[in-house]
Every structure is written in structure tokens, then in C-alpha cells.
């Protein structure tokens, strides 16, 4: 699976979040070329601050594998992971994360911090940025513009 194909699937998950009134972030976890988990943000629906798309994917993939270690997996996500999600990726020993839009406010895969490559941590997660970034950014921008209009 190419990074482009993986991100298109993550965008489909982000659209589901958008349609449900959730911040439109989607994620897909792939192992050996096969999708093993798909998820989108569910914080509002579940009233759970940890219900980010990445966290959901990591949980599902670990359950499917029967092991919390995911070094042979790639996570595709539409927005640069936050500190919580980047930390969970490192803790799961995730092999790689590929993201679309950068997050200059909370992004921890290169924007404000590079948590997956912190030398103080035991394992590393490689990351690739800016795959279909404009498409990912457009969905987020449309969502927040719509929210501002309905809440003003």
C-alpha cells in the first residue's frame, strides 16, 4: 500500500467524523499491506478525551494482533499526532506514522516537538509528513468554519 492510498482511507474516516459532528480526523493502521484497524475521532460521542482516531486505531490493532507491540505497523492519520497520541505510538513501539496536515499548536511529530524521536525514550517511531496535506487541511478548515457560523 502506498502512503497516498493509506491517506485516502484515513480521509474517508475523517469524513465520517465530520458527518458525526466530530473534529474530522481519521486514521487507518496497516500491517503487511492489510488494513487491521480504522477509526475516527469520537471524543464528543463517547465523552472521552482519549478517543482520538489514533488512540482508537492503536487499541483496535493491538486487540486484533493480541499484542500491544506494533513495530510492524504503519498508522495513517489526517492530522499530526498530539502529545498523547505520539506518546501512545512510541509506547506501542509503532513502526511508522504517516500524517497529512501539520498541527502548529499541538503537533508532536515535528511541529512543536518530535516526541517519536526523543532520545530519552526507549523506542522510536519513524514519521512522514504532508501526505495529501491540502485535502486534510481543507476538511478541517471547512469543519471549523461551519462551527463558527453555527455557534455565532
* Cross-strand partners of 73: 31
Among 39, 33, 17, which residue's Cα sits nearest to residue 139? 17
Distance separating alpha carbons of residues 65 and 36, to the nearest angstrom: 9
Q: Residue 125, exposed/middle/buried by CB under 10 A (0-12, 13-18, 19+)?
A: buried
Sign, CA torsion 43/92/67/12 = positive
Residues involved in catalysis: 54
Alpha carbon 150 to its chain's center: 27
Alpha carbon 128 to its chain's center: 12
Amino acid at each position: 500500500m502506498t502512503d497516498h492510498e493509506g491517506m485516502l482511507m484515513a480521509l474517508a474516516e475523517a469524513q465520517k467524523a465530520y458527518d458525526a459532528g466530530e473534529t474530522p480526523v481519521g486514521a487507518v493502521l496497516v500491517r503487511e499491506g492489510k488494513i487491521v484497524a480504522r477509526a475516527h475521532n469520537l471524543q464528543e460521542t463517547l465523552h472521552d478525551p482519549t478517543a482520538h482516531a489514533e488512540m482508537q486505531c492503536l487499541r483496535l490493532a493491538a486487540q486484533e494482533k493480541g499484542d500491544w507491540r506494533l513495530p510492524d505497523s504503519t498508522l495513517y492519520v489526517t492530522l499530526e499526532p498530539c502529545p498523547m497520541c505520539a506518546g501512545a505510538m512510541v509506547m506501542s513501539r509503532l513502526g511508522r506514522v504517516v500524517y497529512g496536515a501539520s498541527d502548529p499548536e499541538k503537533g508532536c511529530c515535528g511541529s512543536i516537538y518530535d516526541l517519536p524521536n526523543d532520545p530519552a525514550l526507549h523506542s522510536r517511531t519513524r514519521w512522514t509528513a504532508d501526505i495529501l496535506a491540502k485535502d486534510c487541511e481543507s476538511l478541517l478548515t471547512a469543519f471549523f468554519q461551519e462551527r463558527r457560523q453555527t455557534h455565532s
